[in-house]
Amino acid sequence: MTKSPKPAAAAKKAKAAPKAAAAPSPTPAEIVGQVGASVGHTLERALDPLTAALKRAGLRRAQKDADQGVPEAIQAAKPAAAPAGTPGKPGLAVSPLAVPFPTIPPIAGVEIATGRAGFYKHAREDMLLMRFAEGTSCAGVFTRHGVGSAPVDWCKRQLAASKGEDVRALVVNAGCANSFTGKPGADAVRRVATAVGKRFDCRQRDVMMASTGVIGVILDDSKIISNLREVETRLTEDAWAGAAAAIMTTDTFPKGAYATAMIDGREVRIAGITKGSGMIAPDMATMLAFVATDAAIAPAALQTLVSLYTRTTFNCVTVDGDRSTNDTLLLFATGKSGAPKIHRAGDRRLADFREKLEAVLLDLALQLVRDGEGASKFVKITVNGAESPLSARKIARTIAESPLVKTAFAGEDANWGRIVMAVGRADEPVNREKISVRFGDLYAARDGLVSAEYDEAAMSKYVKKQEFEVSVDVGVGKGSATVWTCDLTKQYVAINGDYRS
């Protein structure tokens, strides 16, 4: 989590009340179909005809899998055992919504190592180094935050210069965002890239950078550069779990996803990690995420894919409504699988790959919500009957980010009046006489009035679950959208009140 500096505040840790057993979670394939259907029309208007056609085809395939169940490749990636989980910040209990870290095998052409650069006072690894095979393609999506950060500026500039061709390394640090640091911060990034380029015999523009931590602190690049030699000796193909742990800040469990796909009869692998717990909001969610595949995909096609699927995954989650200065999603394709190289995002041979890539990204995005700071509830909010998918998404996001709605969730109170309040303040077209609100299958309101079958006891029992759904129909059209969020608890205040202390 990237945070702005603030005075230390005393805050008592609040104990979470015991929760009822979690309801079964929807599979990644089911969610892919639901999200895609909600925003597909908006994407088609916003993207070029090729991408729109690609999305329509992808939605049909995703819906087919939703009917059949979770893809076998993703299902096999999840181990039965719960993760041990080492909190990024001492004293934080692992989220009750945590999911296991998947078994991720090596991705051909990717080497990983972690180390301790010393950005934290306590003993923990806070540095990630990844080396990619020669010829690796890279594409990225970054924050649109008005402040931005030095590593985000660096990646955007270098990808524009290289057009995403032959990216050879990635360096990530936790504990310092290097944001709002001006020229000194930019110089620090350049020095790290230069040092890595010398060690890996590549250009500095072939080195991607990412940082997370406190805003307004200049990166001490000497801490990274002085550790490069030692960290490089530990490069291995099998270190995805360690990589996910090294980039954690207030995260309470490492987050990863994995799937296999077929391209022209050849199996390819897709693996990714992400971090994020607070300061999470759409556009493009607050997090760092790094995904790699051994498929051979040209940079332009790779960029189309990552731009497209960010909209239906990371941009459909929110924890607290705050956007970050450091959002970075990088996708690397090493080309070492033996599958033929693909130059067009719409190539038929990419059909299965596109579907699995979207599922991996969504899996990662939902884990961010599950690890929301202080979260005890995982909530799916769907808005139907809106003027357009874009309008529906704005209404859903307004509900999901309302402090009053989120605290009601935390208190296990099915306060549907707060939801109606949030619908109205979204400033989108609604028909008050037709608004309906449901908790699961239970109607709280129908056609602008309290539902005739309203059952307070049943509602209260339903929202005691760790995972539940809220559906709203605003009665003006056919637009729909889904956003995932969590509750807002006393622990969120405690974590953020002493973030720097």
Are 215 and 5 within 8 A, CB to CB? yes
- pLDDT band at residue 434 under the 50/70/90 scheme: very high
DSSP annotation of 465 reads S
Burial (CB count within 10 angstroms: exposed 0-12, middle 13-18, buried 19+), residue 461? middle
- Two tokens at 9? 């505040």
In degrees, to the nearest 5, what angle opens at C-alpha 138 toward C-alphas 360 and 353?
35
The total number of residues written for the chain in this structure:
501
State residue 366 phi and psi, 5-degree precision.
-70, -30
Distances (CA, A) of 291 to 306, 312, 421, 480, 488: 10, 16, 39, 29, 29
DSSP annotation of 104 reads -
In whole angstroms, what is the distance from residue 38 CA to residue 62 CA? 13
Are 81 and 48 within 8 A, CB to CB? no
23 has a pLDDT exceeding 70: no
What are the pLDDT digits (tens) for 384-421? 999 999 999 999 999 999 999 999 999 999 999 999 99
In DSSP terms, which residues pair with 484 in a beta bridge?
317, 380
Q: Which residue has the tokens 């742990």?
A: 245
- Two tokens at 10? 């005393």
Query: Which one of 181, 286, 293, 382 is the catalytic residue?
Result: 286
DSSP letters, 415-439, are: -HHHHHHHHHHT-S---GGG-EEEE
Are 481 and 383 within 8 A, CB to CB? yes
DSSP annotation of 316 reads G
- Two tokens at 186? 């930019």
In degrees, to the nearest 5, what angle opens at C-alpha 280 toward C-alphas 275 and 281?
135
Q: How far does the chain reach from its first CA to its final CA, in angstroms? A: 15
Of 14-18, 212-216, 335-339, highest mean pLDDT = 335-339
DSSP annotation of 70 reads S
373 has a pLDDT exceeding 60: yes
DSSP annotation of 146 reads S
Q: Which residue has the higher pLDDT, 77 or 171?
A: 171
Are 471 and 441 within 8 A, CB to CB? no
49 has a pLDDT exceeding 60: no
Mean pLDDT (whole number) for 10-32? 41
Closest CA to 175 of 147, 227, 215: 215
- What pLDDT is attached to residue 324? 67
User: Has 286 been annotated as catalytic?
Assistant: yes
- Two tokens at 178? 């290097």
Burial (CB count within 10 angstroms: exposed 0-12, middle 13-18, buried 19+), residue 116? middle
In whole angstroms, what is the distance from residue 47 CA to residue 37 CA? 16
Q: Per mean pLDDT, which range of 51-60, 65-74, 310-319 is the poorest?
A: 65-74
